Amino acid sequence: MTAAPLLQVENLQMHLHLRRGVVKAVDGVSFHVHEGETLGIVGESGSGKTMTCLSILRLLPIHGDGRLEGSVKLDGDDLLQLTEEEMASRVRGPKVAMISQDPMTSLNPVFTVGDQVSGPFRYHKLVRTVREAMSAATAGLRRVRIPSPERRLKNYPHQFSGGMRQRVVTAMAIACSPRLLIADEPTTALDVTIQVQIMSLLRSIQRDSKLGIILITHDLSIVAGLCHRIAVMYAGRIIETGKVRDIYRNPQHPYTQALLEAIPHLGQKRKRLAAIPGQPPNLMDLPTGCRFAPRCPKRMAVCDDYPPATELGDGHVVNCWLAAKQ
């Protein structure tokens, strides 16, 4: 992929100023996503993975004073320089869409699914009449492979199962043919057999429309089959990124290694798991050096300084002194 990336994020910062202090939710994150490519952002709660994506959409928490810095280039526009109106009319929906973890709260229980799926078309003035809106909604539902969409349009969200609801949400997200889809834990709330289906749906949508996808997750196993590249986040920063095979076959950062070791996988029976001791750091009071150092089994004296990015080839970059020294 030599073409210019679809999304280029450079040194993105989102510091949330609260009365009690400054939460460095996103602290200098850089990555890119190409057309038709899936980037998995993996991290625990508080690692800044969701905040990074909300920052791309410039959706900041209501509480506190969130300050964005850096640059987010999408199709030549720097999203951080646009006005709020431009973001609403030109970016959110037509260019970047998002689906979130809980398909129940993403849908309004008092409107029919047809009303909601046709919402993006109406808002962005892509349809003029009710009839057009409904046929657009039908097509939308068909795209996410909901059976007998004409009939389902008149149903309310509670009449859908969890997996179907997530399909509806996906239909709304891709309604305006966005270039980039942000999927925040899209399958966490779903049963495992349904999870696979949503994943394969995302894959087929991507195949059809050259969509760039950012997939946020806490679970390394869910993203393995779907992503092209992975970025592992810890305490507001990306600590390792690379092609999916490099990350799984040859993880360099002790945190990435620990994440892969710490969860039981099918086929390995009753052995003690390699637990990561301690807790993730407080985002208001971060260690000066490597942020994983206090929990790291391979900690060295030099870890009191933040490790530089080390390029291991083929886009595999790790921020760890162990790699830097070799």
Partner 1 sequence: MGLELRDLSKHFIVRTDRGNAVVRAAEKVNLEIPEGQTIALVGESGCGKTTIAKLVLMLERPTSGAVTFDGKSLSEMSRHEIKNYRRQVQAVFQDPYASLNPRLTVRRIITEPILAHYKRDRATLNARVAELLEIVGLPPTAADLYPHEFSGGQRQRIAIARALALEPRIIILDEPTSALDVSIRAQVLNLLMDIQEKFGLTYLLIAHDLALVEHLAARVVVLYLGSVVECGESEQIFTAPKHPYTQALLDAVPRPDPDYMPKAAEGFDDTGSALDPPSGCKFHPRCPHAMPICTSENPSLITLADGRNAACHLLSARPALQE
Partner 2 sequence: MSVIPASTPVTAAVGITPRPSLFRFRLKGVPWLPLLILLLIIVSAIGGESIPPQDPNGLNLAAAFRPPFWQAGGSYEYLLGTDNLGRDVLSRIIAGARVSAIVALYAIVFSGAIGTMLGIIAGYFGGIVDALIIRIAEIMMAIPSLALALIISASMAPGLSTVVVVIVLTYWTWYCRIIRSEILSLRERDYVSFAKIAGCGPLTIFFRHLLPNIFNTLLILMTLQVGQVILFEASLSFLGLGIQAPDTSWGLMLADARQYITYAWWGITMPGIVIMLTCLSSNLIGDWLRDLLDPKRRQL
CB of 238 to partner 1, least distance (A): 17
Burial class (CB in 10 A: 0-12, 13-18, 19+), 253: buried
Write out the binding residues for partner 2, residues 205-244 only, by CB under 8 A.
Answer: none
Distance, first Cα to last Cα, the chain = 29
Written as six digits, the tokens of 207 are 């195949």
Written as six digits, the tokens of 209 are 């429309």
CB of 324 to partner 2, least distance (A): 14
In the shown chain, the binding pattern of residues 274 to 293 toward partner 2, with x for contact by CB under 8 A and - for none, equals ---xxxxxx-----------
Indicate the residue among 225 and 308 with the shorter CB distance to partner 1: 225
Out of 26, 39, 53, 164, the only residue in the binding site for partner 1 (CB under 8 A) is 164
Written as six digits, the tokens of 234 are 């810890």
Burial class (CB in 10 A: 0-12, 13-18, 19+), 224: middle
* Residue type, position 57, single letter: L
Write out the binding residues for partner 1, residues 264-323 only, by CB under 8 A.
Answer: 264-270, 272-277, 279-280, 295
Which sign does the torsion angle of CA 98, 54, 84, 206 carry? negative
Out of 134, 296, 318, 320, the only residue in the binding site for partner 2 (CB under 8 A) is 296
CB of 167 to partner 1, least distance (A): 9
Out of 264, 297, 308, 315, the only residue in the binding site for partner 2 (CB under 8 A) is 297
Gap between the Cα atoms of 228 and 324, Å rounded: 25
Burial class (CB in 10 A: 0-12, 13-18, 19+), 273: exposed
Out of 1, 4, 300, 324, the only residue in the binding site for partner 2 (CB under 8 A) is 300
How many residues are given for the chain?
326
Q: How many CB atoms lie within 10 A of CB 142?
A: 14
Q: Could you give the 3-state DSSP secondary structure of residue 11?
A: strand
Binding segment (CB under 8 A) for partner 2, from list 3-11, 22-30, 146-154, 297-305 = 297-305
Write out the binding residues for partner 1, residues 246-265 only, by CB under 8 A.
Answer: 248-249, 258-265
- Where along the sequence are the contacts to partner 1 (CB under 8 A)? 44-45, 147, 161-164, 191-197, 199-200, 218-222, 224-225, 227, 244-245, 248-249, 258-270, 272-277, 279-280, 295
